[in-house]
Amino acid sequence: MGHTYQAVQWNPQKKRYDQLVVGGVLLYLAVFMAVSAAVFPEATLETLLIRGLGTAALVLLHIILSIGPLARRDPRWLPLLYNRRHLGVTMATVAFLHGAFSTLQFHAFGDVNPIVSLFTSNTRVDSIAQFPFQPLGACALVIVVLMAATSHDFWLRNLSAPVWKALHMLVYVAYALILLHVALGSLQTESGTVTPAALGLGAVWLGALHLRAARAEGARDREEEVREAAAAEGWMDACGVDEIPEGRAKVVVAAGDRVAIFRSEGHLSALSSVCQHQNGPLGEGRVVDGLVVCPWHGFQYRPRCGTSPEPFDERVPTFRVRVEDGRVLLDPRPLPLGTETDPVPVSSAGSSPA
């Protein structure tokens, strides 16, 4: 244990945020219990409190599991990400109160130890309608309390990042256990269909959010791979195919030169962006009738070899391009003047250099 414990560093923002979270939970409990009392007049105060705390923990868990993928997509969610641990501790506390009150209510008045009773009083594992749903909640509770107890950086450093991360990935196991706890529990209690329905919607929401985030991450990883492989061969990642409008160019700086990558009739060609006439910005020109036209005085160049049409004899260097996974790769080494290169189709994913 090489690291010493440092108390949580509070700052005014964190304090305000915590007050908001606690206030939000209390408000939720008050509204939930008032509405439930009106809908289920026969329900006791204890039952209302147990249900209120259980659903509050569930709502907090959904918020916690949504923050990561949302923040990856939109940085405006980042403040919530920085405070996610506080939300986690709040959720574990609320879940603990729910579990403790339930254990008291249903297991404390017999002659068996309440914890033993919680795990042994119902053994109908062969029946979906009678399934022992409470032990599922208890296992989930152990996980969320363990996570809250180890959420401080002190544990992150002492357990090492991979162990800590693995432990905290257990939140998905806890989530699955809670899904079963609530779904199976709803078959045995008269708490209505709203909670199971909301649970289903919540699962669809979280599933879709995580799938989208995973896809975006996969695409980013592939782009990174393309970039690294290209760099290893001396090629550079110039831009995305979609960044080049038809008939126009994207100008990039390659090895100190300005290079214009033109798109014409679905094909790409790269030539120096410096016009041979008076160094005009060729890359700001257009492709007209298959020829690149300089915007300053109209000099023309053939995209495939960089030479001007007869009777002119200006020549600009050309460069090799290729397309991989929607990215345009450029070899920043200019080809000898007048070298012919076949324009590369924009859809030529994975094609080799022309």
Please give the residue ranges that form the binding site for ligand FES (CB under 6 A).
275, 277-278, 280, 294, 296-299
Q: How far apart, in whole angstroms, are the C-alpha atoms of residue 101 and residue 139? A: 16
Residue 195 sits in the site that holds ligand HEM (CB under 6 A): yes
Alpha helices in 170-255 (DSSP H): 171-186, 194-232
Q: Which stretch binds ligand HEM (CB under 6 A): 54-62, 77-85, 229-237, 299-307?
A: 54-62
Residue 90 sits in the site that holds ligand HEM (CB under 6 A): no
Please state the closest distance from residue 142 (CB atom) to ligand HEM, in A: 8
Residue 95 sits in the site that holds ligand HEM (CB under 6 A): yes
DSSP, residue by residue, 204-218: HHHHHHHHHHHHHHH
Sheet holding 300-301, edge to edge: 286-288, 291-293, 300-301
Q: Which listed option, ligand FES, ligand HEM, none, makes contact with residue 134 (CB within 5 to 8 Å by class)?
A: ligand HEM
Q: Which listed option, ligand HEM, ligand FES, none, makes contact with residue 58 (CB within 5 to 8 Å by class)?
A: ligand HEM
Residue 103 sits in the site that holds ligand HEM (CB under 6 A): yes
The identity of residue 147, as a single letter, is M
Q: Which listed option, ligand FES, ligand HEM, none, makes contact with residue 189 (CB within 5 to 8 Å by class)?
A: ligand HEM
Q: How far apart, in whole angstroms, are the C-alpha atoms of residue 174 and residue 159? A: 20
Q: Which is nearer to ligand HEM, 134 or 272 (CB)?
A: 134
Which residues, at least 6 apart from 276, have a Cβ–Cβ distance to it below 8 Å?
299, 308, 314, 315, 316
Q: Which listed option, ligand FES, ligand HEM, none, makes contact with residue 277 (CB within 5 to 8 Å by class)?
A: ligand FES
* Structural contact between residues 108 and 99, judged by C-beta atoms closer than 8 angstroms: no
Q: Which is nearer to ligand HEM, 29 or 141 (CB)?
A: 141
Q: Which stretch binds ligand HEM (CB under 6 A): 73-81, 164-172, 185-193, 257-265?
A: 185-193
Residue 93 sits in the site that holds ligand HEM (CB under 6 A): no
Please state the closest distance from residue 297 (CB atom) to ligand FES, in A: 3
**Looking at the chain, how many residues does it have?**
354
Q: What angle do CA 116, 120, 126 make, to 5 degrees?
A: 160
Q: What angle do CA 109, 115, 116 make, to 5 degrees?
A: 95
Nearest-CB residue for ligand FES = 280
The two structure tokens encoding residue 74: 């939109």
Q: Which listed option, ligand FES, ligand HEM, none, makes contact with residue 294 (CB within 5 to 8 Å by class)?
A: ligand FES
In the block, residue with structure tokens 């090492």: 160
- Candidate list 33, 48, 58, 328; residue touching ligand HEM; CB under 6 A: 58
Q: How far is CA 49 from CA 24, 31, 44, 59, in A?
A: 16, 11, 9, 15
- Candidate list 29, 33, 48, 55; residue touching ligand HEM; CB under 6 A: 55
Residue 348 sits in the site that holds ligand HEM (CB under 6 A): no
Q: Which listed option, ligand FES, ligand HEM, none, makes contact with residue 178 (CB within 5 to 8 Å by class)?
A: ligand HEM
First-to-last C-alpha distance (Å) of the chain: 58
Instruction: Name the site residues for ligand HEM (rule: CB under 6 A).
Output: 47, 50-51, 54-55, 57-58, 61, 95, 98-99, 102-103, 106, 118, 134, 137-138, 140-141, 144, 178, 181-182, 185-186, 189, 191, 195
